[in-house]
Amino acid sequence: MPPANSANANRFWELDSAYEVRARRFRSPVKTHESSSFLNEVLSANGATDTCKQPRKAQASSYEEHQSSLPRLPIPSLQHTCSLYLKSIQAIATSEEYVHASKLTEEFLKPGGTGELLHSLLVKWDNTCNQPSWLEEFWDDSYLCTRDPIPVNVNYFFQLQPHPKQLNTSCRVSQVGRAASLLHAATQYYLSILDGTMAKEFERDAPVCMSQYRFAFCTSRVPGLRRDRKICYSTGPLTSDEQKSKFAEYVAADPTHCVVIIRNRFFKVEVLKDGAQCSVEELVLALKHIVDCATTCKDPGAPVGLFTTLDRTDWFHTRERLKVLGNSEVLQAIQSAIFCLCLDGVEVTSPDEAARIFFHGPGTNRWFDRHNIIVTRDGSAGINWEHSVGDGGTALHIADFMFRRDCERFFSDRDVESLQEQTGKVHLPVGMVSELQWRLDNGLDKLMKAAFTDFKVLIESSETHVMHFQTFGGARIKTREFVTRRLCSGGPAAYLLPSFWAKLCHVRGGQHTQFLSWTDGMRSKHLTCRMGFLLCGI
């Protein structure tokens, strides 16, 4: 059965191959990757400069025991919050502005005033909401109720540094080889979550909440009419907090597959069999088989992934139409997949172009409601993360694990060819790969064209440039020098976010409301309350 086609499919694929990321008006002066030390720092937890030297602390406790040992997220006192507010604006407010803010804060704190009323309502909510945290509903609403397209506006990306062997030799890494290696590592991490062997997270030897790890795999954002849904496919036992949650849906399933997207065609790849992983070599052969299938066919698939770039309410109605046409099983396969992998036909020629590809691309060959591993033809790799199911800290640990495992193996194009020749030793299991077939109509075809036009406008309104700043990094920010000089006392994020905001004020000529965040809401026995988000310019 031929792949579902769109009248504009060829046009979309041509744009995917020669997209304007190569012809933007503004260009970065940086044309090549600098030393790997910079990206080591970028991809390190808590600002460490060498991820390989920062193993997480492993404890024998189970995931349930780890989570149950955590205190409920407390509500800071009103006085403490207001004092912290005044302290935080001291560095950016003029004397007159600070005096004015102090008077408003004093009025806000008056007995029987607005502050006490709002604080009492929050405490009452905490006592009666019967949810894992007083913050959960507000936090999830901030992501799931937005109606804006999620690429650019919500999703974020990590770029992985080049494979170390490729940096040290003239040998070029194979696209399918690196993709298989990263996919195998992601599946390995998923299995460690299922069997409880995943290293537990700690802050100063105290356990830190790890609830988001369940949603890193086999979980999808699903569009809703007014509020999106977060659906997790798992048969694993739920913790007491997860049983209380009203904003995550659990479907009893044990997914064993990943979804691969290439030239807008969707393939289902079985990566687990009887609870065991397929080998990296089997994954290489599976992906090579998929690439051969996709490239030997003249026409690309219809760019159905463009629907995930729509306004969320429009995407909800479009998804309903897809279901009516008989695409429920395809949608279910994508939603329940362990991970999604996108194989792009472009090659990266600059850091700016790489950032644009991994951040948004042309909207085709993606499924933005899921986390997407993206590997280009030259072996450059990145991950586009859907934000509602998890924050940067969780994603950082997973990406770091995947990269470290990827460094342990290397496949050149010649290695892949040799592997194909050794079919007697390594073969593709029967039924490991199958193509997902879309059923579309003329109305959806027209909507895809409109979606592409709208998405093109969105990304052209966003300029993405890469700056390699190597003067200092996270490790130095945490040194006594920065703390004693009062440059920073809260870690790299506390230093960077106000810096970004100050630059925005400079660029825009004044203060503007802007949300900048390091979203690792944290519960720990050693922390009263650490909510890593900052709303600037109120």
Strands 372-375, 514-517: pairing kind: unpaired
Q: What are the tokens at 423?
A: 């079919």
DSSP label at residue 49: S
From the candidates 387, 397, 427, 526, which is the catalytic residue? 387
Distance CA 139, CA 515 (A): 13
Contact (Cβ atoms closer than 8 angstroms) between residue 419 and residue 265: no
Please indicate whether residue 371 is annotated as part of the active site: no
Contact (Cβ atoms closer than 8 angstroms) between residue 217 and residue 394: no
Distance CA 290, CA 310 (A): 28
Distance CA 270, CA 538 (A): 49
Q: What are the tokens at 168?
A: 């040290």
Q: What are the tokens at 247?
A: 């904003």
Instruction: Return the residue matching tokens 């075809």.
Output: 445
Strands 433-436, 381-385: pairing kind: unpaired
Return the closest-CA partner of residue 147 out of 85, 74, 252, 223: 223
Instruction: Return the residue matching tokens 């309502």.
Output: 121
Contact (Cβ atoms closer than 8 angstroms) between residue 358 and residue 391: no
Q: Within 10 A of 199 (CB to CB), how many other CB atoms are there?
A: 14
Q: What are the tokens at 389?
A: 């199911």
Q: Within 10 A of 461 (CB to CB), how many other CB atoms are there?
A: 8
H or E element in which residue 259 lies: strand 257-262
Contact (Cβ atoms closer than 8 angstroms) between residue 215 and residue 389: yes
Q: Could you list the active site residues?
A: 387
